Structure 1
Amino acid sequence: MKKSTRFTQRCKQMLTGSLLTIAASTMILPAAATAEERDSFRLAWSIYAGWMPWQYIDESGIMEKWADKYDIDVEIVQINDYIESINQYTAGQFDGVVATSMDALSIPAAGGVDTTALIVGDYSNGNDGLVMKDSDDIADLKGQSINLVELSVSHYLLAQALDSVGLSERDVTVVNTGDADIVAAFNTDGVRNVAAWNPQLTDVMSVPGANLVFDSSHIPGHIKDLTIVNTETLAANPALGKALTGAWFELMAIMGTDTEEGAEIRAFLGEASGTDQAGYEMQLDGMKMFWEPADAVSFISSKEAVTAMEDVRQFSFERGLLGDGAPSADFVGISFPGDVILGDSANIKLRFDPSYMQMAADGEL
């Protein structure tokens, strides 16, 4: 599979995923497991810079070491289709999966599966952007068309960009365009504006006359990359949370350094994702990585994180991503540290629980 195709799995089938979400919200889906103590678990992951570390954790033996510490077994499984991996988690085939915060809300949480964001690994900080041809003023978009993957994080980014200059989607025309076609489209005279993510964003920026007018660094924390787990499974099996969190931050402590070992890890992950060390590091540059667990705890406990999720849930409701049965954005409750709750406190289905990351920060794993 080509690098660009593999890299964009996290959003490639967002429209399809949203339709599945709507269907899922009309039925009761099984949890990943009955709330019982177990010793064997499965985590699904898919290709993206912020989630590639799970491959190294698996192949290096780090996961096995932490699983042995808690007398459990953790199978880490790569799924080539990002949305399908979340659907399989939602259906109970996996105990955990990697997902963006928007997808964690709109698929498992909206589908009735109580889900905990166990690890907040990073947020997009420039990897997603809005590009205009021969203009650098977002206000000039009024009356124009923008090509992007509809109902994806690119769509969300556009909504934020328009709002920043007092415009809305009513002032523009969104043209649904497959991620694999974005670069070719922007190279034609008829397409003047696109929203895209890396590596397509970099290719788009190489087109003569291209201007990056808005990117995810303008909305820090809005596009979060998470490792999520079934809440009931986690409650009955805290060893799972400890093993996953311990393994993740053991790697982060090395991977983010300028040491030879850190460089070797980044080179491994670059090759595994279809590029090289330099290409992978370029992808990392467009993200705010939480190399230290204390930094992840601090971020997810901040007002900034809550405000960002407020915008995400409103966008999700307005586009029908919370399902036909959702009367408002409050339909799904979302909890944060400090007893902060967005939405229905009687229907909390997405939980940002930093307790395991705090254990890692305190050296208690």
Structure 2
Amino acid sequence: MNNTVTITLLRRLLSRLSVAVLLIPLLLIGTQAHAEDKPKFKVAWTIYAGWMPWDYAAQSGIIKKWADKYHIELEVVQINDYVESINQYTAGGFDGCVMTNMDALTIPAAGGVDSTALIVGDFSNGNDGIVLKGKSTLGDLKGQKVNLVELSVSHYLLARALETQGLSEKDVTVVNTSDADIVSAYTTPDVTAAVTWNPLLSEIVKTPGSHKVFDSSFIPGEIIDLMVVNSTTLKAHPELGKALTGAWYETMALMSGTDERAKAARTQMAKASGTDLVGYEAQLAATRMFYQAKDAVTFTTSTQLKSTMQQVAEFSFAHGLLGDSAPNAQMVGIETPSGIYGDSQNVKLRFDPSFMQLAADGKL
């Protein structure tokens, strides 16, 4: 081989190496860009017996597993103040948030944010209650100051309890108290009546001389605990709904078992909520958890849900929770599988069982 051929071959080799070297960073940039293109979502949760599984799912890697399956990034964030978490969701700070059916109606939906109840996790069956200090009957509420998170489901529970005694809110004085402050407030001599939910309720009941005089087991199925997501986001990214639903029911299957792994999961949830396993299981006993997706679907598709939401809407309107300009309780449309209550041209709260049905059918 002469020198001219050798030099030509060397030049070609060097040229190819140069191209390869130049391509390496381009390939790396392309890979990085692809990773950054993965949709990112955030959901918020607060401490409550029926919502502790979200924390466990995040800490155990279940959330990541399902997020990876649907090629998204999903962050589960704890917020210490319940109402503030819903306000942040309504303002667009989160794509989803845990909340009750009433709060879903009166905060995001009434505020114009189209929201979907993606997962119906449970209903309170004793987990929300009214406690009196130094008195032992519900009728003793008359004339008392009652500390609660004003305009929340605690307020709704109080109103329903007063109805059973032929009383109304005019017979008591409501004192607005944050859920972050209600336990400490109840320990002061001036506070003699409170309405709250677990685990706060179980702490308050321990106060000497205290009696639980009414709880949500007297109105089963009316205080419903949900994972709510932004409807526009869900429509654009159904993979978010699939990942959340898949993670939830994997956690439900795990924690509802009787083996050591299930016990360990419930123990972790108990610790995260500030109690022990015995205390947490007592709270679960007062919660009608829908461990099976099919049971949640049955509850959501029942005609009773529409009737319950009508009652909630009427309470909300009577208390000004639908806004000062609301002409009636039907201002916000509430879509359920059995029909729409309210304005069909202004549907802002939707109960969509389709993702839970996918879980029930094993299609996630």
The structural deviation recorded for 1:329 is 1.4
TM-score scaled to structure 1, two decimals? 0.81
Residue 70 of structure 1: aligned partner: 70
After superposition, where does 1:141-290 map in structure 2 within 5 Å?
141-177=141-177, 179=179, 192-207=192-207, 209-290=209-290
Residue 344 of structure 2: aligned partner: 345
Output the CA distance in 2 between the equivalents of 1:243 and 1:162: 42
Helix, strand or coil at the partner of 1:295: helix
The structural deviation recorded for 1:323 is 1.6
Helix, strand or coil at the partner of 2:146: strand
* Correspondence 1:297 to 2:292: no
The structural deviation recorded for 1:162 is 1.1
Output the CA distance in 1 between the equivalents of 2:122 and 2:357: 16
After superposition, where does 1:99-138 map in structure 2 within 5 Å?
99-133=99-133, 136-138=136-138
Output the CA distance in 2 between the equivalents of 1:192 and 1:101: 28
The structural deviation recorded for 1:179 is 4.7
TM-score scaled to structure 2, two decimals? 0.82
In structure 2, the CA distance between the partners of 1:142 and 1:113, relative to structure 1 (3 Å rule), is same
Output the CA distance in 1 between the equivalents of 2:72 and 2:179: 39
The structural deviation recorded for 1:150 is 2.6
Q: Percent identity?
A: 61
Helix, strand or coil at the partner of 1:329: coil
What is the root-mean-square deviation of aligned Cα atoms in Å?
Answer: 2.5
The structural deviation recorded for 1:106 is 1.4
In structure 2, the CA distance between the partners of 1:197 and 1:362, relative to structure 1 (3 Å rule), is same
Helix, strand or coil at the partner of 2:49: coil
Output the CA distance in 2 between the equivalents of 1:284 and 1:41: 29
Render the CA deviation track for 1:124-155: whole Å, top value 9, x for unaligned: 11121123456554345444443433323222
Aligned residue type for 2:363? E
In structure 2, the CA distance between the partners of 1:179 and 1:329, relative to structure 1 (3 Å rule), is same
In structure 2, the CA distance between the partners of 1:348 and 1:135, relative to structure 1 (3 Å rule), is same
Tell whether the 8 Å contact from 2:87 to 2:107 is kept in structure 1 after alignment. yes
Tell whether the 8 Å contact from 2:102 to 2:152 is kept in structure 1 after alignment. no
Output the CA distance in 1 between the equivalents of 2:145 and 2:84: 30
Count of residues paired in the alignment: 328
Helix, strand or coil at the partner of 1:327: coil
* Correspondence 1:40 to 2:40: yes
The structural deviation recorded for 1:244 is 1.0
Helix, strand or coil at the partner of 2:71: coil
The structural deviation recorded for 1:208 is 5.1
Output the CA distance in 1 between the equivalents of 2:93 and 2:135: 48
The structural deviation recorded for 1:158 is 0.9
Residue 85 of structure 1: aligned partner: 85
In structure 2, the CA distance between the partners of 1:44 and 1:200, relative to structure 1 (3 Å rule), is closer
Unpaired segments of 5 or more residues in structure 1? 1-36
Tell whether the 8 Å contact from 1:38 to 1:237 is kept in structure 2 after alignment. no
